[in-house]
Structure 1
Amino acid sequence: MIDYFCRGFNNRSGKLKELQDILTLAIRQPAMSDQLELAVSDSVAVPDCLDFTLQRFTYDRPLPVDDVAMVVYQPAKRGQSAAVELRYCVAGNKYCQNPGCTDQVCAHKKDNCNQKQPSIDMITVRFQPSFIQTLQKGSSTSTLFDMQSRKPFVKTIAPSTKSKQVLEQMVHHNYDGALKNIFLQSKALELLLFSSDQFVQNDTDDRFGCRFLTHMEDRGKIEKAKDILLEQLDAPITIRDLARKVAMNECYLKKGFKAMYGTTIYDYFQKERMEKAKGLLYEKGMSVSEVAILMGYSCISHFSTAFKKHTGLKPCELLLR
């Protein structure tokens, strides 16, 4: 998945890893390296306040995207200050490709734009430590972040409707210069406000990484999700439906599943699916077409491609062994 980002980020490994982490949660199926194209890249530094970055990717084929947000705290390191970031991966639109029309204009009449193209918008707002500390001065109640903490944390949340509206405004505006800085600062504060109810809690187990998995109830839900996958290898299920079946938030299900089993839900399902197919071919002596149908494939060539990707062999090659 990293390949299609290298064109736009010049091998900045840290940023690539961050993007890959959030995309694992946002895209329900692994994207092919040629599916996403970098359409817009913007970076703005508001002095003594925040850094804003936007990467917009467009794609031609259908690509289901779950809107995902991450609240990230990195403690101070040698030569680096503590960092607080809000990261978002949300579905959006590039509204116009007409040279005579600007993206900003189309944002105000997006329903009438006949040339709009679906996109994936990666947005990061990194607050300066001094700015966060200023916000917390004089408060006798709990603070947003313990800036002296040596423990990092990443919390995954589903962006609220209000947050997504603010993100849309940050992506599509016609401000420039100092006014652009003022606008982005005001919108970043709105994001912080709208997100605060979701991540400012006294539940420390939930705030740090995947510590919510220390709760046996949550671990049980993820184990149940795995059992459901194994019970219906011939009938693929969407992560959204799987999350509903186990009564768990989609983002937590994805993150928790990877923490417990070391792989994504999709990769785990495909691995077990192909292992079962391998047994049916090699041990039961069934034909390729029979196995493809049993595994839920309507197209034999699609089954063969998936099988070779997992085993390194085409189904017919396995039968000859």
Structure 2
Amino acid sequence: MKEIQEILSLAIPQPAMSDQLQLAEQDAITVPDCLDFTLQRFTYDKPLPVEDVAMVVYQPAKRGQSAAIELRYCVAGSKYCKNPACTDQLCADGQDKSSCSEKIPSVDVITVRFQPAFIQSLQKGTTNFSLFELQSRKPFVKNIQPCTKSKAVLEHMVHHNYDGMLKNIFLQSKALELLLFSSDQFIQNDPDERYGCRFLTQLEDREKIEKARAILLEQLDAPITIRDLARRIAMNECYLKKGFKAMYGTTIYDYFQKERMEKAKGLLYEKGMSVSEVAMLMGYSCISHFSTAFKKHTGLKPCELLLR
């Protein structure tokens, strides 16, 4: 339960809001000689600002036992009706499953723990590369932002129609995809034991990085320079950049742009605002610059999203 509370506090920073969560369902599956998969699905009555987050937990090899890797995710999800069609691409009436009449927003906490023997089998025959070759002697916990591909995999793992042996095969294949997609974010050429940065072992420094993130989220319509951000949290610029990437798995600029475009997407798609209105609210003086940034993040031009 402690692990669930820890990742929930990252996804929903306001404790009062996380108290609104109600456990709707849970599941635990063991794929023999491979992995353990658990799901806790929480629903809520009032809208919640859920930030998709992930944690990588690594325990080094011990005497007589191989290294262990655990991936934890907390993502915004949906609970669909019980019709099996709603656990695939289409709802029962042939519409996109997002149109399911019984769909309920949820917060999904998903854990994939690879069994030590399985990790060892993956590394057999690899003489020139180890998944954690520089960190293999020290345990670490690292926060990352789940990429779009990882979130799609999690959606499939939660909503599928497989049973028995096919279910085990399916979960194993999807878990390996998660490990693959996440590896670029947590394999670092930095031997420090926690978060990849030694100075982040101090709670005060982690709180400064969290404050920097909060400042970015508060002013998505007004870009701030790293120098000004570092001054506001009283931290060295180099430490700020390195610490931010270690804790959130991305650069300050990329994180800011991602959140900025996600907010813009909501204003366009959910609020129905015009492209020029959203561009202005997001601090862009030139609509074409906004369009370019939006397409880079979403793969669509703002006007294409409005037509959907």
TM > 0.5 fold call: yes
Counterparts of 1:130-279 in structure 2, within 5 Å, are: 130-145=117-132, 149-205=136-192, 208-212=193-197, 214=199, 223=208, 240-241=217-218, 245=224, 246=229, 252=244
1:95 to 66, 80, 96: 80
Structure of greater Rg: 1
Unaligned runs of 5+ in 2: 231-239, 249-308
CA shift digits 1:20-50 (9 cap, x unpaired) = 1111211131145751111121111111111
Within 5 Å, give how 1:60-71 maps onto structure 2.
60-71=45-56
User: Shift in Å at residue 100 of structure 1?
Assistant: 5.6
1:279 is matched with which residue? Answer: none
Counterpart code for 1:185: Q
Structure 2 residue 87 is the aligned partner of structure 1 residue 104: yes
SS at match of 1:63: coil
User: Could you give the per-residue CA deviations for residues 281-311 of structure 1, whole angstroms, max 9, x where no partner exists?
Assistant: xxxxxxxxxxxxxxxxxxxxxxxxxxxxxxx
**Aligned equivalent of 1:291:** none
Helix, strand or coil: the match of 2:15?
coil
Shift of 1:240: 2.3
Question: Cα 1:105–1:190, aligned 2, differ >3 Å: closer, same or farther?
Answer: closer
Alpha-carbon separation, structure 1, partners of 2:186 and 2:43: 30
Matched, 1:129 2:116: yes
Give the 3 Å change call, closer, same or farther, for CA 172–240 of structure 1 in structure 2: same
Q: Corresponding residue for 1:298?
A: none
Give the one of 18, 22, 26 matched to 1:41.
26
- What is the CA distance between 1:142 and its match in structure 2? 2.6
Change (3 A) 1:71 1:213: same
Task: Count matched residues.
Answer: 225
Please state how far the C-alpha of 1:183 moved relative to its aligned partner.
0.2
TM-score (norm 2): 0.62
SS at match of 2:69: strand
Deviation at 1:89, TM superposition (A): 0.5
In 1, Cα distance between the equivalents of 2:187 and 2:209?
A: 29
Deviations 1:81-126 (A, max 9, x none): 6421011000111122xx5666525765322212211111010110
Measured in 2, the distance between the counterparts of 1:67 and 1:224 equals 18
- Please say if residues 190 and 196 of structure 2, whose CA atoms lie closer than 8 Å, have aligned partners that are also in contact: no
Secondary structure at the residue paired with 1:122? strand
Contact residue 91 and residue 121 of structure 1 kept, 8 A: yes
Pairwise mapping of residues 295-310 of structure 1 onto structure 2 (< 5 A)?
Answer: none
Equivalent pair of 1:75/1:147 in contact (CA under 8 Å): no
1:170 positional shift: 0.2
Matches of 2:210 and 2:71, distance apart in 1: 29
2:190, 2:197 within 8 Å by CA — same for their partners in 1?
Answer: no
Partners in 2 of 1:50 and 1:225 — Cα distance? Answer: 32
2:2 corresponds in structure 1 to 17
Assess if the C-alpha contact under 8 Å between 2:54 and 2:74 holds in 1.
Answer: yes
Please give the alpha-carbon distance, in whole angstroms, between the structure 2 residues aligned to 1:38 and 1:224: 31
Q: Distance in 2 between matches of 1:50 and 1:66?
A: 26
